[in-house]
Amino acid sequence: MNILQIIIIVFCVLETLNIIVLYSKPTMKEGNGLGVFKALNEIDEHNQIYSLIKYLTNWVANVKVIFVALAITIVIFGEPIVQFHAVLALIFSTFMFYFTLFPILKKLDDEDMLETKGYSRTLAYTILSFIIMFIIGSIIYLTT
């Protein structure tokens, strides 16, 4: 097993844990659950907005399943060069996640709209750790 396969598997395990949270207990405050948003606690389960949130949460979880399934397929059947390019794609997609979602979460955090103060910082560190893991794995792969 090469370093690229290892980091892709680590990513898949962490994403799978988040998928489980989103499907089974989406209102959790841990594991990237939606319980961190104060507004969620104010919405009745019979409200149309709640149905929309549930739909979008499941949609996100389903997309994550696609990513994990593709990543596992690449780990098992992909040549090392395909695995390397998959890691580059993960770096790009993780950066996109940061640049599109972090500003929104930071604004909500600053406006005290999150249950956990400083959650945006925690998310930023999590994303940064993924990016660093992918970059270090790529460097190790390229130098061996």
pLDDT classification of 29: cutoffs 50, 70, 90: confident
pLDDT classification of 127: cutoffs 50, 70, 90: very high
Domain map (residue ranges) of the chain: 3-143
DSSP state of 12: H
- The answer to whether the beta carbons of residues 60 and 22 sit under 8 Å apart is yes
The closest alpha carbon to 131, from 101, 98, 104, 109, belongs to: 98
- The answer to whether the beta carbons of residues 83 and 2 sit under 8 Å apart is yes
Predicted confidence (pLDDT) per residue in 80-98, tens digit? 999 999 999 999 999 998 9
The closest alpha carbon to 92, from 138, 43, 144, belongs to: 138
- Bridge-partner residues for 136, per DSSP? none
Sign of the CA dihedral 62, 66, 72, 75?
negative
pTM for the model stands at 0.89
